[in-house]
């Protein structure tokens, strides 16, 4: 039998066990622990995310919109956390690294709160389409993306307006927000697009890793979103909170926001999520 050493006589050694079978000497409770500690296979991860995507595609658009609106508002907490850290840290060469940790806060709320964020749905909504090759599902995926994106941006605008136009934050903290926002929109459109590809890839990769992360989910989110911020990659929703803050304060025109930031980053995030994660990880399962 393949995978085992055949006995050829009394001198034959003990049989080797196939790699997928626990050692026979393990008691049932130990066997269970071994199975629980085994990492999910790529197929299991893909199936988990495919089922999640299927559920998202079948949700009513009103439910998607409310969840996405909440995500757009929640992601604004990344700006708040970064602003607080920037305000209270000395202006040193390492301040940016520490401030980047604050970027993770909004993503933690969105991810652990199961709110709909556009850059996450580029992966989950596409997997059922790739698996079933259905034009009907493709239409549902496009509907989901449009609803989630628009509601995310509305939520981002509401947060930016509250941060800039109400006294909820101190003048000193609002100045920190302004500085962060100017840095976020400092790229030309091509650079914003390229950095958006990397940002979309990191976020979709984060979603791919979560099913097998178990209790380490928080650290996966923190590590990858910290890397996104520290590397100065762009994210269409989190960055829109920053850019829309400048729109509210009249330091950036709505047209400048759209053409200089929103559209290039949206295209980059979509390409990063769809091409570099969804398609490639699906391709390895089909190979």
Tell me the C-alpha distance between 108 and 75, whole Å.
9
Tell me the C-alpha distance between 270 and 284, whole Å.
20
Contacts of the segment 170-176: beta carbons below 8 A, 24+ positions apart: 172/87, 173/80, 173/83, 173/84, 173/87, 176/82, 176/83, 176/84, 176/86, 176/87
Comparing 48 with 284, the larger pLDDT belongs to 48
Structural element, H or E, at residue 53: helix 42-58
Q: Directed axis angle between helix 95-102 and helix 104-112, to 10°? A: 20
Domain spans of the chain, in order of start: 40-286
Q: How far is CA 89 from the centre of its chain?
A: 28
Of the chain, the percentage scoring pLDDT greater than 90 comes to 57
**Is 236 a residue whose pLDDT tops 60?**
yes
The mean pLDDT of 78-96, rounded to a whole number, is 95
Tell me the C-alpha distance between 198 and 207, whole Å.
14
Comparing 131 with 165, the larger pLDDT belongs to 165
Cβ neighbourhood burial of 182 (10 Å; 0-12, 13-18, 19+): middle
- The pTM of the full predicted model, rounded to 2 decimals, is 0.81
Question: Of the CATH numbers 3.40.50.720, 1.20.1080.10, 3.40.50.620, 1.10.1040.10, which one belongs to the domain with range 40-286?
Answer: 1.20.1080.10
| Cα Rg, the chain, nearest whole Å | 23
Of the chain, the percentage scoring pLDDT greater than 70 comes to 79
Instruction: Please give the pLDDT value at position 285.
Output: 61
What tens digit of pLDDT does each residue of 168-184 get? 999 999 999 999 999 99
**Is 59 a residue whose pLDDT tops 60?**
yes
Comparing 4 with 215, the larger pLDDT belongs to 215
């Amino acid at each position: 039998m393949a995978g085992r050493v055949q006995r050829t006589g009394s001198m034959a050694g003990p049989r080797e066990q196939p790699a997928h079978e626990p050692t026979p000497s393990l008691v049932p409770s130990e066997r269970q622990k071994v199975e629980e500690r085994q990492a999910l296979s790529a197929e299991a991860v893909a199936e988990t995310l495919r089922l999640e995507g299927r559920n998202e595609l079948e949700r009513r658009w009103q439910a998607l919109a409310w969840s996405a609106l909440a995500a757009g508002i929640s992601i604004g907490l990344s700006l708040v956390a970064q602003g607080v850290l920037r305000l209270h840290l000395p202006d040193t060469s390492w301040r940016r690294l520490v401030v980047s940790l604050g970027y993770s806060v909004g993503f933690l709320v969105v991810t652990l709160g199961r709110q709909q964020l556009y850059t996450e749905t580029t992966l989950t909504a596409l997997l059922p389409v790739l698996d079933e090759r259905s034009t009907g599902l493709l239409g549902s995926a496009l509907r989901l993306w449009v609803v989630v994106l628009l509601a995310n941006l509305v939520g981002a605008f509401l947060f930016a307006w509250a941060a800039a136009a109400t006294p909820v934050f101190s003048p000193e903290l609002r100045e920190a927000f302004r500085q962060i926002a100017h840095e976020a929109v400092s790229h030309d459109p091509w650079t914003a697009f390229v950095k958006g590809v990397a940002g979309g890839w990191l976020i979709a990769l984060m979603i791919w890793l979560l099913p097998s992360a178990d209790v380490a989910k928080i650290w996966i989110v923190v590590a990858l979103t910290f890397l996104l911020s520290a590397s100065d990659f762009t994210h269409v929703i989190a960055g829109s909170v920053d850019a829309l803050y400048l729109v509210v304060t009249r330091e950036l025109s709505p047209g400048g926001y759209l053409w200089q930031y929103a559209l290039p980053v949206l295209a980059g995030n979509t390409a990063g999520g769809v091409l570099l994660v969804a398609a490639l990880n699906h391709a390895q399962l089909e190979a």
